[in-house]
Amino acid sequence: MQLFALKTNLLKAGRMSAFLEDHYICIGWPGIGDLERMEPDEAMASLAKVYRLEGQELADRMQELSMFAYGMADGDYVLVKDEEEIHVGDLGDYYYVENADTPDDGTCHRRGVTWLKTVRSEDLTAHELQRLLHEERAIAWLDRPVDKATLERWLSGAGAAEETGSGVLPVGEAPVVDAATIQAALDILKAALYSEDAERRERAAIAILTYAKS
């Protein structure tokens, strides 16, 4: 599964109490229409028109919207940071709530969530989770899949020493990957952009955009 992190203070619409009570998350940006009925390029055109965005600002906001509507999948996990607490949930599908598509509400773009647990951020010592939660954007994602057993170990407070011993790199360090391997991976992603599978195309696009931004 993929692991995502969402920060309520950086969303255009986010009410943690409603998220927990009604079992959903949202990303805001009302007025652009139902993303499930749009291709990514249509969504970008609508976002640019409604919010008068362009250039890097448009690319950044579209990356967040794409990740929320097209990149996340049923069964992925999300960490939602709310001040000093982290709420852990199992994600469901994207859905659009038309009567919430107003400037005053703004919670129209939603994903269902089965909430699993709440932990204090100070208890999450796993380097991978620290890195994910400290990214300065509304939605971040771990750059590799993670299994449930590993995530449970991280959430239970697995420390730096344990992770380093199991092959997880400390914050600030990165694996050494040669240029040829990186290019081969990019070639695979580029080929996936022309797949007949829409979900595969969308995930490949998100991965390429993320790489380009980094």
Contact in structure between 12 and 148 (CB atoms under 8 Å): no
159 or 212, higher pLDDT: 212
Per-residue pLDDT at 45? 94
Q: Rounded mean pLDDT of 97-118?
A: 94
Please report, for the chain, how many H helices and E strands are present, in that order: 8, 6
Pairing of the two strands 85-96 and 109-120: antiparallel
Domain coordinates of the chain in residue numbers? 3-174, 176-214
The three-class DSSP label of residue 97 is coil
Per the structure block, which two tokens stand in for 169? 């790199």
Per-residue pLDDT at 167? 41
Burial class (CB in 10 A: 0-12, 13-18, 19+), 115: middle
Tell me which of 1.10.3720, 3.10.590, 3.30.70, 3.40.1130 is the CATH number of domain 3-174.
3.10.590
Which residues are within 8 A (CB) of 126 and not within 5 positions of it... i.e. 6 or more apart? 153, 154, 155, 157, 158, 159, 163, 168
CA proximity to 113, closest of 96, 87, 141, 91: 91
Q: Rounded mean pLDDT of 149-174?
A: 58
Torsion of CA 76, 39, 193, 67, to 10 degrees: -30
Tell me the whole-structure pTM to 2 decimals.
Answer: 0.71
Sole residue written with tokens 């906001």: 61
Per-residue pLDDT at 19? 93
The three-class DSSP label of residue 92 is strand
- Residue-wise pLDDT for 7-31, tens only, equals 877 776 668 889 999 999 999 999 9
Q: Rounded mean pLDDT of 30-41?
A: 91
Give strand pairing partners of 79.
5, 88
